[in-house]
Structure 1
Amino acid sequence: MAPRRSHRKSRTGCIQCKQRRVKCDEQVPRCQNCISRNTGCSYNFVRACSTSPSVAEDGSCTDSTSARGHISADLGSIYSRYYSSQPVTKLMRLRELELMHHYATSTCETMAQHETDLDVWKRSIPAEAFKHEFLMDGIMALASLHIALHRPSNRWTYTELAVQYQASGLREFKATLNGIKEENCHALFGFSLIITVLAFAFPECYGDQHLVTPRDSIISIFELLRGVRAIKTSSHGSLRGGQMKALFNYPRPYMDPEDDEDVEALLKLRQRTDQLGKDVHPEKHNIYLSAIDCLEKSFGEIVGLPERGAGAIVAWPVMVPDDLMILFKEGDPLAMLILVHYGVLLLHVHNQWWGKNFGVRLIRHTSEALHQINPEWSSCCEWARNKAAVVSELS
């Protein structure tokens, strides 16, 4: 049976009708005004495909939902499932001017972790965007989402724009990845950082609608950051010696975590891993230990270099073995417990607009999943749940 189409009207009308100051009939997937003018319609800018989508000749998915509908649970591949039927039109140029102004005067400063890398976000990345349209799309998406989270009354309008620009940028980005070279590696690296930040930020934009679970979000982020690692590996010298070197060339001192509760929790995690390691394959045991080593290092870097804390936190998925995420996808309890501890690291970026509530959601959701597997695992999550409760009360 075909799914029933929702007849509930939008509260705002499509973006193009609002810009022309005409009444919108609010029909999806494309309003009548946009059809008659043969222009792109924001109601049709993005489709979330089902598990086995079919794609029409115009690039749209035949089995899809609107941007405000349900999003596919397979977030690991969700970014490859967005399709925009129309490119950005001239009708959006005023909006683009607004977005670029917002990025240059506000968003870029929130991305910098220190004065040394502010210049990268304020000058180097925009300069690369003039040469690579996919990076310009990334900047527009980032500014759109930043505005969405600071203007609740217009949240959906700017969230829709963010998804549209992300979809547009991802198409060219994927094509360009097939030929990484000196001329494009900086733009590719900049865009990969931006879409990772977007993956952290999108769940907060959807708020209480729970369109995407924390599990799906973290899997997507791991896969996106794996792409960052691939670009860094293939263009290591160019990136470290080029205009984005400030993102790499800084000391990373290691210190022991200062919080006694953190130290005790990490010690208990290692002890439980060693205890369970007696009954698992040595290779699997080493995956756990390697991930815990990276956790301890990241906690130590937050203490030793607090102004670069966000970088150390986001970098953790890049450092851990890829097999850890495979175990997490399979519902491995110890891998899930390690991700609960990573959630505590994410609480340190709770005050960043793009990291708001991400750690809290990850801790709560994964702790509940562990409890369903076996209630005995709940005691291992108590430290993390208490940390998340404190952060939630203070925010």
Structure 2
Amino acid sequence: MAGQGAGPSRRSHTKSRTGCKTCKRRHIRCDETFPQCRNCTKHQVRCDYMDQQRPEADIQAPRDQLPLPSSPGVEHMLDIWQQTGNFPYPELQVFPPPRPQSHSRVELRLIQHLSSISRSLLMNSTSDMTVWASKVPKYLSVATSYSYVMHAFLAFSASHLAWMSPSPDT
């Protein structure tokens, strides 16, 4: 007889509605992970999830890429950077500098965006007014060696551009 104080209550669970056929046949709860559930992986049996397409809810259509704001001067500077390999902001003392051959044009534009802001603030002796602006050279130096830091740097630059953009799509 289970009454009050008889022990801990049972752990709750969610019922599997769309589990694989192997788990249904074995009368065990399927965790419904794609492309193969953990039970089938554990028992080294074929999971019929491998035969199914990924659920439509998990597939996202790619958004159209919005053009980055630019100017002929910026485009010319990026062209020279790609041709010579010389980082366009020597004042930032980024070592090692980012290699333009390793990045797409969009990535170069994002690197240029934060670098130009950092340079402007540095030249005006106002780089200490924002935490990130004074650290851009250091972050960029680290980012040249670690791809995940570069991805974070590029994401920050893109989000800053989106914040500055008057477009409602960003």
Please, what TM-score do these two structures have when normalized by structure 1? Answer: 0.17
Report which of the two structures shows the higher radius of gyration computed on alpha carbons: 2
Please, what TM-score do these two structures have when normalized by structure 2? Answer: 0.35
